[in-house]
Structure formats: structure tokens, C-alpha cells
Amino acid sequence: MKTPLHIRAVQARAVAAPMKRPLATSTGKLTEAALLLLDLHTEEGVVGRSYLFGIGKHNLAPIAKLVEAMAGMLKDDALVPFEIEKKLRARYTLLGVHNIVLFAMAGIDMAAWDALGQALTIREVDAGSCNGCELEIHAVNNPYYNLEGLGIRFVASPRHADMLLVTGPVTRNMALALRRTYDATPAPKLVVAVGDCGCNGGIFGEGYASCGRVSNVIPVDVTVPGCPPPPLAILRGILAALRRSRGDPATDA
């Protein structure tokens, strides 16, 4: 499988989650679930998450250390679950791939698949551009950028979209259509304004025929300046909006 994602780090932390109904065990009643939460960070900003269920919070500490040691071995590797498993199995042959090693590997494997499954659907809206920005957006769809490998694809309806990619100064004729498109997009939704026109009105500004910047009409999460911005800048803007939605503070486009 081809993937443009590369592993940066895996963070593991043990938490105790209260259970609504205590679990009866041979050693008594469990009132808390001991979980090991795993966040697999990629260089490209996509994060995969998983969790492991343990007997007690303290028992999970050595597994957390093992997970992070394994992640150190995988740093900068392509995010390909089968290759990850092969590499870890080869590394742990002497110890025997069982018990806590298998447990830790399962957590990384689930987080890897989660990162690959982070789909994002985009509806592009030309709110009045000269079409220069659209040419660059077409170029982002070139196989070179491997959007589908990142789980990103363009859709025809805002009802199927997670994100609106808006170009142009918003013409008065398009203002209502843009607002209706925004309302039709299910929450939580993201908006990326592309090009100088979308960011600040560009060479057209505000006037009798133009509302100017996109944020004059709908809320905008990330702006991508440039006239027109190149494909990589547009891709960076899309990923920055994604990171912001996932709580990563590094959200510059």
C-alpha cells in the first residue's frame, strides 16, 4: 500500500475511566477501567488513536514504556501497518513475540489503521474567483500529491462534506448561495479560504458587486494567501485546518 504518511512519535498514557456498572471479577469489583491511550503522530499532522484495556492502571506503565520504545524504532518509517508489524516481530524474535510485546504491538497497529482511516471530504465553492485558484486546486488532485492516500477527496454535495474550500471574493450574487452551502454542511465543519481574494478581497476588495473576503459571509478557520497559492500551500492549509480541529496548536497554513 502506498502512503504519504510517516511516523513521528507515539504517545502512551495510562488513565482510569470510571465505569457506570462495576465489573465483578475473582479479585473483587472493578469500578474503574484502566486504559492505555495511544496517539500515533505522523510528520504530516494526521493523528491515529487507539486504546488498550488493562487490569490496573499501574500494570499499564511498563506497556506504555514498551510502546514508546517501539515507536522510537519506527520513527520516520512510512505508515504501513503490515510493514510495521514485520519490523517489530523481527526485532523482538529473541524475546518471543507474546504477552506484553503482542499487547503493545496491537495498540500501535490499531492506531496506525486509525490514522489511515482519517477521511476528509471537501466541497469546493467558487464564490467569485477568476478561476486562477481553481487551476491550482485541480493541480492538488494530481497523483503527485496523493490526496487519496491521505484520506482526502472532493465531493459534489456539501451534505457529504467535512470542509468547504472557498475561492474568490464573495460576489453579491454568490453570498446567499455560499451561506446556504455552509448551512447545508453538517457540523463539525471546517472552512478554508483560498487565495488573496478569499483571504482579504484581493484585487477586487469590497464594492457594489463584491462582499470581499470569505469571512465577511461565513466563519473561516484557515486562510491560504497567494494569487494564486501553489498546490503545496493549499494542501498545507487543508492539513492545518485538520490539525486545528483535532486540537493541535500548530495550525499555521
Which residues in this chain contact ligand SF4 in the complex, by CB under 6 A? 129-130, 132-133, 167-168, 195-197, 202-203, 227-228
Least distance to ligand SF4, CB of residue 229, Å:
8
CB closer to ligand SF4 out of 100 and 227: 227
Whether residue 152 contacts residue 123, with contact meaning beta carbons closer than 8 Å, is answered with no
CB closer to ligand SF4 out of 48 and 195: 195
Q: Is 113 exposed, middle or buried (0-12, 13-18, 19+ CB in 10 A)?
A: middle
Beta strands in the chain (DSSP E): 7-25, 28-42, 47-54, 120-126, 152-154, 163-167, 190-194, 222-224
Least distance to ligand SF4, CB of residue 232, Å:
16
Q: How far apart are CA 210 and CA 198, in angstroms?
A: 11
Q: What is the DSSP string of 121-137?
A: EEEEEESS--SHHHHHH
Least distance to ligand SF4, CB of residue 251, Å:
21
CB closer to ligand SF4 out of 107 and 202: 202
Query: Hey, how many other C-beta atoms are within 10 angstroms of the C-beta on 195?
Result: 29
How many Cα atoms within 13 Å fall on the side-chain side of residue 208? 0
Least distance to ligand SF4, CB of residue 227, Å:
3
CB closer to ligand SF4 out of 147 and 166: 166
Residue nearest to ligand SF4 (CB): 132
Least distance to ligand SF4, CB of residue 148, Å:
25
Looking at the DSSP bridge assignments, the partners of residue 28 are 25
CB closer to ligand SF4 out of 108 and 130: 130
